[in-house]
């Protein structure tokens, strides 16, 4: 027996005051160019969603609903990476806020600017046991966020809101960039306020901050480059806005260059001076370049955590190092460097180019590029990159992906084996790419900040939560829906966060989710085997992810071989139908380039691999 609820007829939208505090928040986001925010709604942040509905009706800032709050933070992360605009995520009080924390911590460890807004029950109910209270008298989310944000504040009075909001936005975008958190009680969000004037000036303040640099240190770097016949440049993800200038410096100085794993997508990997990726998933040729050749190593825009330093390689972290960065947090990781150059990297590179031109040093007008594979980059197990064995080798899958998608595609690799297969083997093919592949595609036309930020291969290093890439891919695609996005993830990660594919479906986003399906936590299994540890805990259930996607109305294919992939590859260029899922049954016995990770854990056996 079932009981039908009475129908709700023609509910009227409540007429709000002319301008609420929640509208003020959205007004500031609109003023700085943010067009999407990510979150999961709830009662304590209902006024913000009301304001977002009003905003969307006038064609401005719109809400994107995530399935889980952590994924909302990952989406905000991806949105910044693709657009260069502040990422914004929000959640209700209590468990909504605590669910955000892993995504916020990931942003903190990777210097992603993000505004995080959590709700609270009415401020007059604090201490009375209100539902999902998370103030200092309940489960204190402020204390939790304090350790993974640059700025963390409870708005306890309406007169505080505008000042704290502006402070938070500026803190997020100042070097080193990172997430900030505001917790706002629901009664304050509903309070009427005057329309702000200051919001219009905030964008200019953001655009012109952080342009300075240490002129004396730049002079010293100029002298080093004049004296060094063949320096080695190390390009990090923090140099995204200066890659074209760094490539000019490469050609002027006769330098070779390598990239951090998360900066491979910023450089032209077919440039004759490129020697590959250094660090996680890296190439032996990059290690050789550091160990054998360079008298000076000039690192632009990178920290030296485990994954970017090759497990703190002594040959890199030596008195040959010159560290160029805007972030003090990165510069303190290289106390052994012979020179630190702090400042806005595009500006100081422009200054260097001017000094070199005045000294008569000019770039080769015809730098050499290889049409296909760069022979100066040593690839591990190169024969498997071309193998037609079944089940498909992960190396061969990377070749299929490299060759099958348009040149303006973005790839996002998840934590686990994916973040080693991708930087080692992916080779985006786009004949238009010359100095800066991130700046040379039509998907980015008309947006200078986007052109400077774009990176065709995105990774999250340092904190590296499983499932990050799934949400990040959605955020990237929402920021730039004209560019196809390919999310490379494992079955373990997909079991954690795969429900977010429904967001891509709802938003009709051109995201291809590639699941490396082998029924194991691959990185754990290989790590245990290589270390001689007990084989335990790595098995996963066998899942037909294609059927799962079909149940959601999402296009899907099962792939066992390279031939299977080639049969369907033509459909990848018709991505206006929304997301696509590829359930790829890979050879789980293939070991990714992970020896540096094992060395750091103290479990590596003797090996010449990277």
pLDDT in tens, 152-210: 999 999 999 999 999 999 999 998 899 999 999 999 999 999 887 666 678 777 766 66
pTM of the model: 0.92
Mean pLDDT across the stretch 94-110? Answer: 97
pLDDT of residue 573: 63
Residue 502 scores a pLDDT above 80: yes
The neighbour count for residue 602, using CB atoms within 10 Å, is 7
pLDDT of residue 113: 98
Categorize the per-residue pLDDT at 77 as very low, low, confident or very high, splitting at 50, 70 and 90. Answer: very high
Nearest to 291 by CA among 272, 318, 267, 266: 318
Q: What share of the chain is helix, strand, coil (3-state, %, to 5)?
A: 45, 15, 40
Is residue 113 a contact partner of residue 87, using CB atoms and an 8 Å limit?
Answer: yes
pLDDT tens digits for range 241-257:
999 999 999 999 999 99
Q: 87-117: buried (b, 16+ CB within 10 Å) or exposed (e) per residue?
A: bbbbbbbbebbbbbbbbbbbbbbbbbbbbbb
pLDDT tens digits for range 33-66:
999 999 999 999 999 999 999 999 999 999 999 9
Q: Is the dihedral of CA 132, 136, 142, 147 positive or negative?
A: negative
Tell me 393's DSSP state. P
pLDDT of residue 596: 64
Q: 121-157: buried (b, 16+ CB within 10 Å) or exposed (e) per residue?
A: bebebbeeebebbbbeebbebbebbeebbbbbbbbbe
pLDDT of residue 577: 80
Q: What are the tokens at 443?
A: 């998907």
pLDDT of residue 338: 96
pLDDT of residue 571: 72
pLDDT of residue 436: 42
Residue 362 scores a pLDDT above 90: no
pLDDT of residue 429: 66
Categorize the per-residue pLDDT at 13 as very low, low, confident or very high, splitting at 50, 70 and 90. Answer: very low
pLDDT of residue 522: 94
- Bridge partner residues of 297 (DSSP): 232, 321
Higher pLDDT, 197 or 492: 492
Higher pLDDT, 434 or 276: 276
pLDDT tens digits for range 306-323:
999 999 999 999 999 999
Categorize the per-residue pLDDT at 442 as very low, low, confident or very high, splitting at 50, 70 and 90. Answer: very low
pLDDT of residue 495: 98
Share of residues in the chain with pLDDT > 70 (%) = 87
Residue 9 scores a pLDDT above 60: no
Element (H, E) at 488: strand 485-490
pLDDT of residue 188: 96
Residue 435 scores a pLDDT above 80: no
Question: Measured between alpha carbons, how far is 226 from 349 in angstroms, rounded to an integer?
Answer: 15
Rg of the chain over Cα atoms, rounded to whole angstroms, equals: 25
Domains of the chain (ranges, CATH numbers): 21-208 (3.40.50.970), 215-358 (3.40.50.1220), 382-601 (3.40.50.970)
pLDDT tens digits for range 124-147:
767 666 666 777 777 889 899 999
Categorize the per-residue pLDDT at 598 as very low, low, confident or very high, splitting at 50, 70 and 90. Answer: low
As a whole number, the mean pLDDT across the chain is 89
Nearest to 585 by CA among 529, 546, 530: 546
Is residue 398 a contact partner of residue 380, using CB atoms and an 8 Å limit?
Answer: no
pLDDT tens digits for range 374-399:
999 999 999 999 999 999 999 999 99
Mean pLDDT across the stretch 510-514? Answer: 97
Question: Measured between alpha carbons, how far is 130 from 140 in angstroms, rounded to an integer?
Answer: 13
Is residue 90 a contact partner of residue 48, using CB atoms and an 8 Å limit?
Answer: yes
Categorize the per-residue pLDDT at 12 as very low, low, confident or very high, splitting at 50, 70 and 90. Answer: very low
């Amino acid at each position: 027996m079932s009981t039908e609820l009475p129908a709700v007829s023609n509910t009227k939208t409540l007429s709000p005051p002319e301008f609420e505090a929640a509208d003020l928040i959205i007004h500031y986001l609109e003023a700085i160019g943010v067009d999407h925010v990510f979150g999961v709604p709830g009662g304590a942040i209902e006024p913000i969603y009301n304001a977002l509905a009003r905003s969307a009706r006038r064609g401005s800032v719109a809400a994107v609903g995530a399935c889980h709050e952590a994924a909302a933070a990952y989406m905000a992360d991806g949105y910044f990476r693709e657009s260069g605009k502040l990422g914004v995520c929000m959640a209700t009080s209590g468990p909504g806020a605590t669910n955000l924390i892993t995504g916020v911590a990931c942003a903190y460890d990777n210097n992603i600017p993000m505004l995080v807004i959590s709700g609270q029950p009415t401020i007059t109910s604090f201490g009375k046991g209100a539902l999902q209270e998370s103030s200092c008298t309940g489960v204190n989310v402020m204390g939790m966020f304090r350790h993974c944000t640059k700025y963390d504040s409870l708005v306890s009075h309406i007169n505080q809101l505008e000042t704290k909001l502006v402070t938070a936005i500026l803190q997020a975008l100042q070097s080193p960039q990172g997430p900030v958190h505001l917790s706002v009680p629901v009664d304050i969000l509903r309070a009427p306020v005057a329309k702000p004037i200051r919001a219009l000036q905030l964008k200019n303040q953001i655009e012109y901050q952080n342009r300075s640099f240490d002129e004396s240190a730049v002079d010293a770097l100029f002298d080093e480059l004049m004296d060094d016949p063949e320096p080695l440049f190390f390009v990090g993800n923090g140099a995204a806005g200066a890659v074209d200038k760094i490539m000019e410096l490469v050609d002027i100085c006769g330098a070779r260059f390598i990239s951090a794993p998360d900066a491979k997508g910023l450089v032209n990997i077919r440039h004759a001076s490129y020697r590959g990726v250094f660090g996680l998933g890296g190439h032996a040729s990059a290690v050789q370049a550091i160990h054998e050749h360079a008298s000076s190593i000039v690192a632009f825009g990178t920290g030296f955590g485990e994954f970017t330093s090759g497990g703190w390689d002594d040959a890199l972290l030596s008195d040959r190092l010159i560290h160029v960065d805007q972030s003090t947090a990165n510069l303190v990781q290289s106390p052994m460097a012979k020179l630190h150059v702090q400042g806005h990297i595009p500006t100081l590179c422009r200054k260097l180019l001017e000094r070199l031109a005045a000294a008569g040093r000019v770039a080769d007008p015809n730098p050499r590029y290889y049409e296909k594979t760069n022979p100066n980059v040593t690839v591990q197990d190169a024969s498997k990159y071309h193998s037609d064995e079944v089940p498909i080798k992960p190396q061969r899958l990377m070749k299929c992906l490299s060759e099958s998608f348009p040149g303006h595609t973005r790839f996002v690799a998840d934590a686990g084996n994916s973040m080693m297969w991708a930087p080692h083997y992916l080779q985006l093919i786009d004949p238009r790419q010359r100095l800066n592949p991130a700046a040379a595609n039509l998907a980015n036309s008309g947006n200078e900040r986007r052109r400077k930020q774009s990176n065709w291969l995105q990774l999250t290093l340092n904190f590296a939560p499983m499932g990050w890439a799934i949400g990040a891919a959605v955020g990237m695609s929402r920021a730039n829906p004209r560019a196809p996005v390919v999310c490379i993830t494992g079955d373990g990660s997909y079991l954690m966060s795969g429900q977010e594919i429904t967001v891509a479906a709802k938003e009709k986003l051109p995201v291809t989710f590639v699941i490396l399906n082998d029924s194991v936590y691959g990185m754990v299994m290989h790590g245990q085997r290589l270390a001689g540890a007990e084989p335990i805990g790595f098995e996963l259930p066998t899942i037909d992810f294609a059927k799962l996607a079909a149940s959601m109305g999402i296009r899907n294919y099962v792939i066992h071989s390279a031939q299977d992939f080639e049969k369907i590859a033509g459909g990848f260029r018709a991505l206006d139908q929304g997301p696509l899922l590829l359930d790829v049954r890979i050879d789980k016995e293939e070991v990714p380039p992970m020896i540096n990770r094992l060395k750091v854990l103290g479990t590596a056996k003797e090996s010449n691999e990277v």
